[in-house]
Amino acid sequence: MRKAKEGKKKALSEPDRKSGTAPLQKLADSSPQAAAHRQWQSMADNSNRVKQLRTYQQMSSAPPVVQRYATELGTGYLVSANGHAILRRDGSKELYMDSDRIADANDALRDKDIENVELTEGETWHHNHRDYSKVVPEFRNVPGQYGSKVSKERGIAESRQQLNYKMVHGFHLTMNFLTKCTRDPWYRAQLTRHRNAAGNIENLIRELAAIEIEHEQMLDGRQVMAQIRNRIQAHAPKDEIRQLLDAANAPQNGNFAKDLVHKLYIYSDDNTLSLEFILQEIDKQLDIMDENIETYNQDVPYLPTSCGMLRAYLVGNTGAQQNGGNIGDYHYIDYNDRNDNGPWNNHYSSIIFRDGGDTVGLEDAAGQARLKERNHWYFKMYGTEEEQQFGTKTTAEYDRRKNQKDRFDEIVGV
């Protein structure tokens, strides 16, 4: 009895020999509602937006073994494996993360005894139905190394308080006399303490004077850069631009102009780079200079622009692993074996976030800024795919800058 029922059910569901469709399905497909639905579905399937969303969904739902950052279609944003971090543009400060992930990253940094940087939350960004917080690093002043104008002034005040400078000369004479007459450790400790305080004041005063000179030079440099921008925008003659570039490349204006010189010479020779691109590059430099000028009287340390020195400041002497891949480790690549007079000998990137196999590095590069700047650092994202790995991306930039330099040397006959 059961077999008979199953056979009858099967017969009802078999396709019609002539139409190739079950009778009931044939009736449903021929209805006006079904025709309208098919037309709508066809339009939806051909929609670019739907295709983008489907592709992005496929990238986001990739199995853990092959997770890597995705470039969000239509925006160029770099999205980490599980979507916990979004970098608006590689090599920028526009990194956004889940609030809880920022807290986790700080915990991981503290676990590695990293104290010179803390990730704080900036403005909120609502994206893809989620709230992200902008990642704003706060850097710590390091006495005698990386300190702000404000911290150095505070150090002078503290040292003077130690000295009790109203009686300093008499105190030193007394201490000198007493230490000759006794071997009491207290007298010797007091004398050493006050001598160190006096020496600290002298050093800090020198450092403050150097900061003041740098500030004046940056104001002058900004004026020159703004003049260059205006003349380029006005299509000034090539010789005039060269003269302005020579002024911008003077030592007091830092090394940042060297890269700009290359771009402008290439542009003026064979139009390799567009006028719009060159103006954008100058605007970036002007923004950086404005940030540094604005923070002159803020308690923000001057950071090293060398990638290795910045790495040492951020994760140095903490047990950080070279190419370890975890928060508090660092990426590293060496180019000394190439011997091709490239733009740098090596490169470092301090890892401040990890999502799946993807990492976000906080870094800088020598030769692209002044020796000390507060705001020249940037974020980059690295993945597990070959073209996304630290070594591959860094080498691609190395080759790009070397080719640019070679082209410049060829033009000017170096």
Q: What are the tens digits of pLDDT across the range 122-173?
A: 999 999 899 999 999 999 999 878 899 999 999 999 888 877 755 555 666 6
Res 335: pLDDT: 94
Q: How crowded is residue 187: how many other Cβ atoms within 10 Å of its Cβ? A: 18
Place of tokens 């009686």: 167
CB–CB of 88/96 below 8 Å?
A: yes
Q: Residue 248: which of 220, 208, 214 has the closest Cα?
A: 220
Taking all residues of the chain, what is their mean pLDDT, rounded to a whole number?
77
Q: What is the 3-state secondary structure (H, E, C) of the chain?
A: CHHHHHHHHHHHHCCCCCCCCCHHHHHHHCCHHHHHHHHHHHHHHCCHHHHHHHHHHHHHCCCHHHCCCEECCCCCCEECCCCCEEECCCCECCEEECHHHHHHHHHHHHHCCCCCEEEEEEEEEEECCEEEEEEEEEECCECCCECCHHHHHHHHHHHHHHHCHHHHHHHHHHHHHHHHHCCCHHHHHHHHHHHHHHHHHHHHHHHHHHHHHHHHHHHHHHHHHHHHHHHHHCCCCHHHHHHHHHHHCCHHHCCHHHHHHHHHHHHHHHCCCCHHHHHHHHHHHHHHHHHHHHCCCCCCCCEECCHHHHHHHHHCCCCCCECCCCCCCEEEEECCCCCCCCCCCEEEEEEEEEECCEEEEEECCCCCCCCEECCCCEEEEECCCHHHCHHHHHHHHHHHHHHHHHHHHHHHCC
Q: What are the tens digits of pLDDT across the range 402-414?
A: 887 787 677 665 5
Work out the average pLDDT over 368-372: 66
Res 69: pLDDT: 83
Poorest-pLDDT segment among 24-33, 44-53, 174-183, 320-329: 44-53
Poorest-pLDDT segment among 83-92, 97-106, 279-288: 279-288
Res 111: pLDDT: 94
Poorest-pLDDT segment among 35-39, 388-392, 395-399: 35-39
More confident residue, 166 or 333: 333
For the cut 60, the answer to whether the pLDDT of residue 28 exceeds it is no
For the cut 70, the answer to whether the pLDDT of residue 218 exceeds it is yes
Res 250: pLDDT: 53
- The Cα-based distances of 389 to 15, 105, 326 in angstroms read 53, 21, 14
Task: State the pLDDT confidence band at 220, using cuts at 50, 70 and 90.
Answer: confident
Q: Name the percent of the chain lying above pLDDT 70.
A: 69
More confident residue, 61 or 257: 257
More confident residue, 368 or 322: 322
Res 371: pLDDT: 63
In the structure encoding, which two tokens stand for residue 9, read together?
Answer: 């059910």
For the cut 50, the answer to whether the pLDDT of residue 336 exceeds it is yes
Q: Name the percent of the chain lying above pLDDT 90.
A: 36
For the cut 80, the answer to whether the pLDDT of residue 178 exceeds it is no
For the cut 70, the answer to whether the pLDDT of residue 330 exceeds it is yes
Q: What are the tens digits of pLDDT across the range 234-283?
A: 988 877 877 777 766 554 444 455 566 666 665 656 566 678 877 887 88
